[in-house]
A and B are shown apart, each in its own frame.
Chain A
Amino acid sequence: MWKNVPFFPEQASTLAGEVDALYFTFLGISVFFGLLVAGLVVFFAIRFRRRSEDEIGRPEKAGIWLEIIWSVIPLAILLAMFAWGAKVYVQAFRPPGNAIEYFVTAKQWMWKFQHPQGNREINNLHVPLGQPIRLTMTSEDVIHSFFVPAFRVKADVLPGRYTTVWFEASKVGTFHLFCAEYCGAEHSMMGGSIIVMEPADYEMWLAGRDSGPSVIASGEELFKLKACNTCHRSDSATLAPILHGVFGEEVEFEGGGTQIVDENYLRESIMNPTAKLVKGYKPLMPTYKGQMTEDEVLQLIGYIKSLASDAKEDHGAVSDSSSPDPVPDEG
C-alpha cells in the first residue's frame, strides 16, 4: 500500500499496518487542527491588522461555551486515540500462544541470537515468514534496545532481567536491526539485519549448517553439569521443589507472598536463590551468579520450561488449537 511513498519505511510485519493506520489517522487529525489554527492566526493577523497608530482592539466577553467546546473536543479525540494506541500496544507486547521462542543476548556492541533448534547467529537473525516469533532478551552489560523499523517493534533489553517482544514477518527480505538505546562508543554500529525467508527456505537454511545441540538439549546438559539435578529431582521434593510443570504456576514463598513462575523468576532463583524461598524449603541452594553466561542461563531456563510442557501434555495442544492462524507446515 505504501510502497512508493518516499521517506517511508517498509511494512514487513503483521503489526506494521496497524501502527501505520493509527499513525496516519492521528497525522490527519493533527494536520487538520494545525492548519485550522495556522489558518485562523494568519487570517486574523491580516484581517484585523492595525489601521491607525492609536487604534485599540475591540474587547469581547469571554465565551464560556467556547472554552468548553475547545477543551472537550480535543479531550475526546485524545482519549479515542489513547484507546486505539493502547489496543495496538497491548497486542504488540502480548505474544500469541503459538509464538516460537528465540533467545537474544545483547552486549556492547553486538547482538547474539539463538534459534530454538540451537543455531547461533551474531548481528543477523534468519526467521521464517508468517510465523509468530517471540524474543526473550537480556543484556550482558548496559541497556540496549531491539528495534526493527520495518516491523514497527521496539523493546529495551536490560541487564539482569528478561524482556520480550514478538513479531510475525509478513514480507520476505532483509530488514535493518538497530540498537535504539544509547549504549556507548559504538552505539550506532550496533546493528544488523533480520532476514525473513519462506518457511521452506528457512528449513533449508537451518539444515545447511551445523546447529549444535538444541536449546533444550544444551539446557539439560547444563542441568547435569551444574549439578542442579542432585537436589531438583523429578521423583523427590525433599531437598528442592520439583521443577516439572512449575513454569506458569503460582508458587508460595516462605514468609508469605506468591508469584507466577516466569522467566524472570527462574533467573532470580538461579542468581539469588534465597531472595524468594519457596515455602517449606531451607536456604540450601548456592548462587550461580558469575558462574554461568547469560546464554547458558537462558538455555537452562529453556530446559526448565520444556519440563513444564512435558508434564502437562495438553498445554501445547490448547494454544495450538486456539490460534486462528495455521502454523506453517515445517519442512
Chain B
Amino acid sequence: MIANYGYEDGSGHYYIRIDTSKCADCKDKGCISACPETLFATELDDFDDEVVLIREDARNTLQNSCSQCKASGEIELCTKACTADAIGFSW
C-alpha cells in the first residue's frame, strides 16, 4: 500500500510517501533512528505486518519538521537510511 502522510495548506503540499509493502519486509527500518525529528514509528497494519508510518501528531507539521534535512540540499536522512527504497517526498 502507498501511504501518503501530510497535508496541503496555503503554502504548498507536504506529503511523505511510504510504500508499506516494501517496508513490511525490511528488518532494518533504519528510517526510524535516522530521523532527527523522530517522525517515523512502526505499527502492525490491518494485515498484521509491521510497517512504518509517520507519527499522527507529526503529520500536520512536516514542512517545519523536515526543514533541516531539506535545507541541507542533500538526500533526506530517512531516504538515505531506507534500504528498501520505500520513502518519497512530495516537495
- Do A and B pair up? The answer is no
Q: Which A residues are closer than 8 A to B by beta carbons?
A: none
